[in-house]
Structure 1
């Protein structure tokens, strides 16, 4: 479950189950179907805290969900049960209120919403659960404690960096040390940050089998979250920026209920650190296999040795692909590629250093024209000639090596394939049945089965 609108959507569904105030029921003594104390207790899709000195902090926003799994001693009995929940202010137990989840399914989480008019910002509440089956009731569960926190942190966080100061260019290669401070907001428990400017909705739990929440700890993701060293305190993190140039980190504080503060942005500048990409042949032909040498940025290599490269190729006959190449001790690497993109091919290469730094990409590309050359004396391109019943010869000549056949079609007639000669060329004889405009479409196919780019040859029959 996420912290925000998705929770409210779940609550809207639960509202159809109805809430009711229950009358007193005596504990059961019958065997078999004896109600058992609810297990798997959660509040706000977070674990129940049974320590009154360490309650779970939750925003109410008019709805606090509590839940547990009701059941009976007879685990084969699927008769509906009632899950009953009592809640009271810790400082005023006389104000106890009761809500129920009627017709709950044994063995599945049964949710209920605590009375919104009871909950107040800053107050701590206790709640417990009980299973009711007919006139029988289980023992009460352990008591859980929650504190309602609907107040966002008063101040935006303070952000600084000792090794990447703002407003000037910094040599890339070292992780960016970011110092985060609550800025005087004494209830801050941590920070959330992002390089993209989008601070995502915080996901606090997934829902597993039997509806049991699986709580997540956002702070287990150090790329986006950090805990404070004390309530209202600070944190220091080392981060790798996603690119060079002008870089901005967006940060907001989070209190114990994950209420977010206003956002602070920290902008600094990183000198680009792309590698160099050099082919053995500076102008390889279509279908050639070429060795590429990858070299690290010198300043980057001096900071932390490059250990690998990520190579992304696009335009080739196999489609886009990405692969890793290990670097030698001096940071260089080589890789062989067959360039068979019918319109060309591009390489985008980033380096990765031992300290985790990922460089800006370096790009290398080449364009190819793989259309055949088409010629005809009787029917010149973009001209007119011949006539109805007048035969003409069309010659196909390749621009690339390895062509074994040509496939052609006049206007919308069915395609015809002819073999290429030893020189890769071919010719055909064609006789028009009538005068008018014609469009000849031709493409070549290579020995490896690659269909090359189609050429359109237009002419007019007199």
Structure 2
């Protein structure tokens, strides 16, 4: 795997730009302007090293991308030029390989690929660039030095933890202290790790103005990378597990060499007890659409390790969709909040706590179910029974199961809906006369004074 390679999309885009320009602009000639030695030299998206004792270590299994910005003495010219790249082993300067990038636009990076067969693994190479305009060539650039390393570390890293032993169940709340070691591989210079087995790619780059790459040093991101204290050495890191971790938890780790080649991945697994908070409503069964006070209390072990400073409270199933609010905790780690539960089939809470050291617990769940359908009764047309007849009127009475009902909306066998206001005790009665003997479905739902359309109820009956 090549860890320092530019994305294929960017390369394709730059290549397409070159082809478009080539079709519309003719190459420069010596009469137009004199070529200038390329600047902004990069290899594998990393800056050129002009120190032969400190080459840039790179993977070149698919060849090596080199680039530089060509110029001419006429800075206003848009005539295209060629860029010539030459590479040779430091131990044998006579053994050169030359690659030309045609139709390059002055002022922009011109990329070329030095072939892999010219860059055997384990050797140091020098390369240089020159601008060619017509029959005229600039001076060569100063050499850039690269050491080719296509071989990943042979051993997986060693991983241990001083406070969360492997395979042992432990109280959560403290950052996990890990020690990573090269496991006897002197080629290792750093480590990569993540709580997911799909580790990020090391050594990527973004593309700036004029196509200049901006190499992203992976070791600038301590969430996933750390340097070894020496080649073949070790490193100590402190990590918080992912938010909501409990039960089996695994850190995935691999070693990296100077070219960002990665070893095979190894995992370090340990067990975390749940540190979820407790959720207690002020009443055992909060009423529908009525304010209720909830109290959140921290796990005792967690609180003694690092005080809880707040709670994330997600309400699920209520009006307007799921919502999340943050509730600050008091000095003792407890917190309270008033919530109105208005899910017509019920509502639940998902509550996690956050400690002062950043530890985020797994979630505590609390929920309640509501039956907000109305009760329907008829003396002439009983539910799931038969009665009356064609032309025989019947009365249907709607009674609420929750408080605050303002009206009822009903339909028979899909006919246009009819809405009637609720009367005394929030009930309503309607008269209905069937035109023919048949099976019927009366669908009815209530609406509250606050405008909530409650769950519908289907009342089936047969007209004789």
Name the TM-score, length of structure 1 as normaliser. Answer: 0.90
Where does residue 315 of structure 2 map in the other structure? 313
Taking the aligned partners of 1:393 and 1:211, their CA distance within structure 2 comes to 80
Where does residue 364 of structure 2 map in the other structure? 362
Where does residue 382 of structure 2 map in the other structure? 380
Where does residue 450 of structure 2 map in the other structure? 448
Aligned counterparts, 1:78-157, within 5 A: 78-157=78-157
Residues 367-398 of structure 1: per-residue CA shift (max 9 Å, x gap): 11112222222222222222222222222222
Deviation at 1:156, TM superposition (A): 0.6
- Judge which range, 100-109 or 332-341, deviates more: 100-109
Q: Is the 8 A contact 1:407 1:443 kept in 2?
A: yes
Deviation at 1:66, TM superposition (A): 1.3
Distance 1:372 1:109, change over 3 A: farther
Distance 1:367 1:298, change over 3 A: same
Deviation at 1:113, TM superposition (A): 0.6
SS in 2 for 1:302: helix
Q: Is the 8 A contact 2:3 2:261 kept in 1?
A: no
Distance 1:388 1:14, change over 3 A: same
Residues 127-184 of structure 1: per-residue CA shift (max 9 Å, x gap): 2222323233344334322211111101110010111112322222111100000101
Residues 387-415 of structure 1: per-residue CA shift (max 9 Å, x gap): 22222222222211222222222223222
Q: CA RMSD in A?
A: 2.7
- Judge which range, 421-430 or 7-16, deviates more: 7-16
Aligned counterparts, 1:280-359, within 5 A: 280-359=282-361
Residue 167 of structure 2 is aligned to residue 174 of structure 1: no
Where does residue 266 of structure 2 map in the other structure? 264
1:247 to 222, 246, 249: 249
- Judge which range, 430-439 or 266-275, deviates more: 430-439
Aligned counterparts, 1:63-78, within 5 A: 63-78=63-78
- Judge which range, 307-316 or 149-158, deviates more: 307-316
Taking the aligned partners of 1:209 and 1:440, their CA distance within structure 2 comes to 68
Taking the aligned partners of 1:5 and 1:204, their CA distance within structure 2 comes to 7
Name the TM-score, length of structure 2 as normaliser. Answer: 0.90
Distance 1:120 1:410, change over 3 A: same
Deviation at 1:50, TM superposition (A): 2.8
1:392 to 391, 394, 411: 394
Q: Is the 8 A contact 1:58 1:257 kept in 2?
A: yes
Q: Is the 8 A contact 2:5 2:44 kept in 1?
A: no
Residues 211-258 of structure 1: per-residue CA shift (max 9 Å, x gap): 332321222222222211111111111111231222222211111222
Distance 1:44 1:5, change over 3 A: closer
Deviation at 1:76, TM superposition (A): 3.6
Taking the aligned partners of 1:430 and 1:212, their CA distance within structure 2 comes to 79
Unaligned residue ranges in structure 2 (runs of 5+): 20-27
Where does residue 47 of structure 2 map in the other structure? 47
Deviation at 1:317, TM superposition (A): 0.8
- Judge which range, 272-281 or 78-87, deviates more: 78-87
Where does residue 420 of structure 1 map in the other structure? 422
Deviation at 1:11, TM superposition (A): 6.2
